Structure 1
Amino acid sequence: MTAEAAIRDLGAGDADALLALYQHLNAGDAPPSPEAVRAVFAHAGLRHFGLFVGDALVASCNLAVLPNLTRGGRSHGVIENVVTHADRRGRGHGQAVIRHAIAQAWAAGCYKVVLTTSRKDPAVWAFYERCGFDGGDKRAFVIRRPAG
């Protein structure tokens, strides 16, 4: 990662830049409504982190800290929407923003952090393992809302 890179929390004022970056995650995604953007950034327990090089947002992820009644009532974290601009990959930006999110989860008292991916590429899995995740620790199951 370059020395001029900085990570910070994103707010509603960063929504346009974040939505543009998300095109490198899910190209062609329909944009959310302004109301949805406001609701997401106002949601307690959900934080978005952005890594900037100069004024450009080049990597991001979000962290949801979820309350819990097991494990002594300690929260757990869920990292989602990990993305690095296609032109900036391979420079450590993605790892840096993930490591930042993990540090924030530990600071919030989480006992674990979970990350899931729909990517089937073993290189993506290896990337997450380099970030410290254990791909064999848990198994995730997904159900999607039916169309209609």
Structure 2
Amino acid sequence: MTETVAIRDLGVGDVDALLALYQQLNEGDAPPPPESVRAAFTHPGLRHFGLFDGDTLVATCNLAVIPNLTRGGRSYGVIENVVTREDRRNRGHGQAVIRHAIDQAWAMGAYKVLLTTSRQDPAVWAFYERCGFDPGDKRAFVIRRN
């Protein structure tokens, strides 16, 4: 990474760059309606992080910190929508933005952070393990609405 790299919270002004990056995550996704954009950036406990190199959004993820009534009332975090620009991968940007999200979860009192992926590529799984995630700790189950 270069000296111009910075990680910060994203806001509504970053939506175009974020949605362009999301096309590399889920190619062909329809753009969200304006009310979904507003909801995503005003929802309490949900934060979007972006790693910038200069003015270019290079990597992103979001973090939801969820209140909890177990574990002494400590919240937990969920990281989703992790993506790094295809032309900037394997340079530490994705790991840096994930590490930032984890640090923010700890700062918000979370006792654990979860991350799931639908990618079936062992290299992607190894990437998340290098970020500190334990693939044997929990098992995720998913149901999708048709």
Q: Distance in 1 between matches of 2:125 and 2:24?
A: 18
What TM-score, normalized by structure 1, do the two folds share? 0.97
Partner of 1:79: 79
User: Displaced runs of 4+ in structure 1, greater than 6 A?
Assistant: none
Partner of 2:65: 65
Partner of 2:109: 109
- Tell me how large the CA RMSD over aligned residues is: 0.5
> Structure 2 matches for 1:2-81, cutoff 5 A?
2-81=2-81
Q: Distance in 2 between matches of 1:52 and 1:142?
A: 32
Q: Distance in 2 between matches of 1:110 and 1:85?
A: 29
Partner of 2:133: 133
Counterpart of 1:117, as a letter, is: T
Deviation of the 1:100 alpha carbon: 0.1
Counterpart of 1:79, as a letter, is: I
Q: Distance in 2 between matches of 1:2 and 1:61?
A: 20
Q: Distance in 2 between matches of 1:3 and 1:107?
A: 25
Deviation of the 1:4 alpha carbon: 1.5
Q: Distance in 1 between matches of 2:66 and 2:113?
A: 10
Deviation of the 1:3 alpha carbon: 2.2
Q: Distance in 1 between matches of 2:2 and 2:137?
A: 32
What TM-score, normalized by structure 2, do the two folds share? 0.99
Counterpart of 1:40, as a letter, is: A
Deviation of the 1:2 alpha carbon: 2.2
Partner of 2:92: 92
Partner of 2:122: 122
Deviation of the 1:129 alpha carbon: 0.2
Unaligned runs of 5+ in 2: none
Q: Percent identity?
A: 82
Unaligned runs of 5+ in 1: none
